[in-house]
Structure 1
């Protein structure tokens, strides 16, 4: 006999073998024991939660020749034939491939005939939501007035697609996702029966990856057995499922907490280079953050309370060192990232943005807190070495304040101000660490900007994106040209990190410039700005122009008055020269 998958070999054969759906199994067992079965049942729920398995157990139990308290004996001829799928009175139908009116009419006609061997004729219709509306209408009459000794078992993963007229004529059972504990318990039983060694952490990873589906869990376990004979190891399961180790998660959280953006990005890049799934990593970060929060607020070490974490000294140390508010922030940012990944093919970019955003926000909070501590009066005795740290923090806060003042006033640093190294061209940064556009370049574009130039750029913008490589396109996907002159273009970006990278990417600038030179015969310089800063920069430019125009009008008026006064003085001088000072009187 050919090899059978684990989920087929170990399919439950009695109600007591069903894991995670005890209430449903008990209800059906009691109905059979009391001989009060309904004519139609609807089983709904996620994949791999036992809908079809319980339907087959029900078909055996109700037709078993020697039932024991509502359970099938699995030894009589009827039970064995149903298990093998050879009994003609139990008919399994896949609605996905038999969804027409003719197939349902055939079922309705044959249902009128009495069962040949069993006591009940049982129809198991899987994925019943795939039936056409005409097929539902054909089935409706049979469910409304069912023939004697005929039972319909309908199974579906999408009950919202089933007409309410069908649902109202059935007993509905909603199958829930199977808990990780139940999946682990079932796998432990199977592996012990197969005499296979296993690590408990490995089974936990499988149960987590199964996402509430017993069939998915057994499929992963089957794959693990093929990967390593007679042993289930945690490292093997991590490779199979793409899961992230707890050590890596602890390193990642520690890097975010310590504001070590470079190390956090390196960990992320190494993880993706190993082929780890980005969506799985996001989920692991969220669940690990949840476990840290739970431990912080309960101090419980019971493993059953944690989703993915296992208690250790390092886990406890991390939970103690990381602020609770920052954990909420991590979960919120990665939850938004999870939504964005579903609509994008550039998972790496979104993960990098989330990583940098979290580390930078933590930097902002820390700087702000340090500055407040430096300005506040000292109320507690300082520890050895803290005076030097406080002095450095105060000096840093002062330097940042001075730099902000210089930028706002448009002045240059004096000899008494902190000197900025201008030998290496750096990306402008705000005191909070966010990207700041070069306002001078933006204003220069706005001085010469025209609607015609902007329309011309926008007409070929999609073509520009098409010629970029994958990395450059990832940067420019969320960009939009907002102002253009004959020689320059202002492009706004939704995210600071994307704006900064685009501004620093000289190859990107050369590619765009070369393409525009080829298409519209213009060499265009790119100026990048964030969506948040763009309206402020535009309004600032308008205010400056209005102020400049007002000053210009005042200067013209002053020059006119000066010329009139000068002319008047010349007339007076001439009169004095001709008639003498004693004979000249000036009247206004």
Structure 2
């Protein structure tokens, strides 16, 4: 028999074999046990998280002749035929290549006929968001009133592209990114079953590089074993994933911290000579900075196993470097990483990055009190600002609004990383539609108590985040740093703990949406442009970060608030 890829060999055949989606599999098993099967399902989520595998297992379970505890037996004729892809009553369709009206009409016409071998005729439509508008309309009536012997299972990575009329007729299950720990356990199980010697560090690197996708992890592992069939080594994992060895990252970090540009450039040259990707190099540097910040917050946040991957001098660096300098490093790295997307000379930008990091200096913290000698200068600044404010008050209101709208596109924040999750704009706009100041104050007043309910690791991630908009049904949380927003957006355990904590404090489970702080003003502005300035939109705009100057405020007003605080500055319109 010809060789099969690992992700095909290790495709789950039972609900219990699905990795990292315990809530979904338990719900489906209970529905099967109690005979409460719906006529249509939607499985949505990132690639490689088990959507199609779960759909096939569900198709087996509803037709299994010996169903036990909600699990298919995989031994009866029906289960065997489905596993072999030979059962005509289970139809898999790729909507990417069959997205026209005629294909859907064909499905609708054939769905009327009873199944020939099984109890249910099951249609699995993958990448359903690729269907055309006409195709969705053709599918709508069948989904609304399907025959009793038909079940539709739709799978997609982009549920926001599916019409609301379709979504309202489906049971929706959102698959989460699989945690690196769960992926690591599954990879270890596979390697042990294949009796392959492996380095624990190599497994950790592959699990982390998969970014929450089990299929991606198995594909990387397959490639690594092809590179070295005898054993999985740390070096082979680095070669396959394109990651940079932590020793090299440590050398680079020590060089730029000490201002040694020459040594830093040597590390860059060696890294590119090994065929490593420039963007991945910066990604690994940001990850190293994240570990430094977590270690400074609480040493327990970085486990002993991870310390072994971070270099011998990691603890020394974490104790000596100022966290403000790490923040500055991350901002510079993010800026250069965005520039890499538009260049054919990544080596040039990495050299520039090295020089900028080596020259970076920590800005001194502002003094807590003003010395007596500075009072006179401060009073002069106050007088100048008062004159400027008086002149602004005499201008029409639209005079300060129009330039802000013209410059808004130029100030649009770019995501911190090409791989970072995008904010759910539909969900955020839904919160803003019903946002109230009282709801926001309720979340902020309970924010400290919520953090105490979380683990130390989760508390560290949310330490630099805060609610910026809220309604009776949900809340928007902004993160000061993009890399922590990215970490929170892919952390299923954090989201679960957050929802449980809010339920305990508020008596309900709200919808929670994350957004980077630098993108929040732009999102608010887009919301205001897309919605009439009625009562709701004004309310939503008022109870977001009121203390922060918006894009509509004149420069002088923003400067006044920066110097004295917005509670001392009063702007009146004529």
Which residue number corresponds to residue 330 of structure 1? 329
Please give the secondary structure, in 2, of the residue aligned with 1:192: helix
TM, length-normalised to structure 2: 0.62
Partner Cα separation in structure 1 for residue 214 and residue 356 of structure 2: 38
Which residue number corresponds to residue 298 of structure 1? 298
Partner Cα separation in structure 2 for residue 47 and residue 21 of structure 1: 13
Deviations 1:113-168 (Å, cap 9, x if unpaired)?
11111111100000111111111110001001111121000001111221111111
Deviations 1:473-516 (Å, cap 9, x if unpaired)?
xxxxxxxxxxxxxxxxxxxxxxxxxxxxxxxxxxxxxxxxxxxx
Verify: 1:132 aligned to 2:132, yes or no: yes
User: Matches of residues 300-379 of structure 1 in structure 2 within 5 Å?
Assistant: 300=300, 302-303=302-303, 310=309, 313-362=312-361
- Farther-moved stretch of structure 1 (4-13 vs 313-322): 313-322
Which residue number corresponds to residue 5 of structure 1? 5
Q: Would the alpha carbon gap of residues 305 and 235 (structure 1) be closer, same or farther in structure 2, given more than 3 Å must change?
A: closer
Which residue number corresponds to residue 228 of structure 2? 228
- Farther-moved stretch of structure 1 (285-294 vs 323-332): 323-332
Dislocated runs of 4+, deviation >6 Å: none
Contact 2:49 2:214 in 1 (8 A): yes
Partner Cα separation in structure 1 for residue 308 and residue 42 of structure 2: 37
- The Cα shift of 1:188 comes to 0.9
Contact 1:288 1:309 in 2 (8 A): no
Deviations 1:377-430 (Å, cap 9, x if unpaired)?
xxxxxxxxxxxxxxxxxxxxxxxxxxxxxxxxxxxxxxxxxxxxxxxxxxxxxx
Deviations 1:288-342 (Å, cap 9, x if unpaired)?
1000111112022652896x97366421112122222111111111122222222
Partner Cα separation in structure 2 for residue 113 and residue 309 of structure 1: 61
Which residue number corresponds to residue 182 of structure 1? 182
Which residue number corresponds to residue 410 of structure 1? none
Please give the secondary structure, in 2, of the residue aligned with 1:103: helix
User: Matches of residues 79-118 of structure 1 in structure 2 within 5 Å?
Assistant: 79-118=79-118
Partner Cα separation in structure 2 for residue 344 and residue 225 of structure 1: 33
Please give the secondary structure, in 2, of the residue aligned with 1:71: coil
Deviations 1:556-582 (Å, cap 9, x if unpaired)?
xxxxxxxxxxxxxxxxxxxxxxxxxxx
**Which has the higher Rg, Structure 1 or Structure 2?**
1
Contact 1:303 1:310 in 2 (8 A): no
Deviations 1:261-300 (Å, cap 9, x if unpaired)?
1111121121112111111111100011000111112022
Partner Cα separation in structure 2 for residue 33 and residue 305 of structure 1: 41
Q: Would the alpha carbon gap of residues 360 and 302 (structure 1) be closer, same or farther in structure 2, given more than 3 Å must change?
A: closer
Which residue number corresponds to residue 202 of structure 1? 202
Partner Cα separation in structure 2 for residue 344 and residue 35 of structure 1: 57
- The Cα shift of 1:238 comes to 0.5
Q: Which residues of structure 2 form unaligned runs of 5+?
A: 366-574
Which residue number corresponds to residue 120 of structure 2? 120
Which residue number corresponds to residue 261 of structure 2? 261
Please give the secondary structure, in 1, of the residue aligned with 2:309: coil
User: Matches of residues 472-511 of structure 1 in structure 2 within 5 Å?
Assistant: none
User: Matches of residues 425-574 of structure 1 in structure 2 within 5 Å?
Assistant: none
TM, length-normalised to structure 1: 0.60
Aligned residues: 365
Partner Cα separation in structure 2 for residue 288 and residue 251 of structure 1: 12
Contact 1:303 1:311 in 2 (8 A): no
- The Cα shift of 1:346 comes to 2.8
Partner Cα separation in structure 2 for residue 99 and residue 304 of structure 1: 51
Q: Which residues of structure 1 form unaligned runs of 5+?
A: 370-588
- The Cα shift of 1:4 comes to 0.8
Contact 2:295 2:302 in 1 (8 A): no
Which residue number corresponds to residue 459 of structure 1? none
User: Matches of residues 57-68 of structure 1 in structure 2 within 5 Å?
Assistant: 57-68=57-68
Contact 1:246 1:309 in 2 (8 A): no
- The Cα shift of 1:190 comes to 1.0
Please give the secondary structure, in 1, of the residue aligned with 2:283: helix
Contact 2:257 2:358 in 1 (8 A): yes
- The Cα shift of 1:220 comes to 0.8
Q: Would the alpha carbon gap of residues 49 and 195 (structure 1) be closer, same or farther in structure 2, given more than 3 Å must change?
A: same
Partner Cα separation in structure 2 for residue 176 and residue 282 of structure 1: 26
Please give the secondary structure, in 2, of the residue aligned with 1:43: strand
Partner Cα separation in structure 1 for residue 227 and residue 312 of structure 2: 32
Which residue number corresponds to residue 216 of structure 1? 216
Verify: 1:149 aligned to 2:149, yes or no: yes
- The Cα shift of 1:31 comes to 0.8
Contact 2:250 2:310 in 1 (8 A): no
Please give the secondary structure, in 1, of the residue aligned with 2:172: strand
Partner Cα separation in structure 2 for residue 311 and residue 261 of structure 1: 22
User: Matches of residues 44-59 of structure 1 in structure 2 within 5 Å?
Assistant: 44-59=44-59
Contact 2:288 2:310 in 1 (8 A): no
What root-mean-square deviation, in Å, do the aligned CA atoms of Structure 1 and Structure 2 show? 1.8
Please give the secondary structure, in 1, of the residue aligned with 2:116: coil
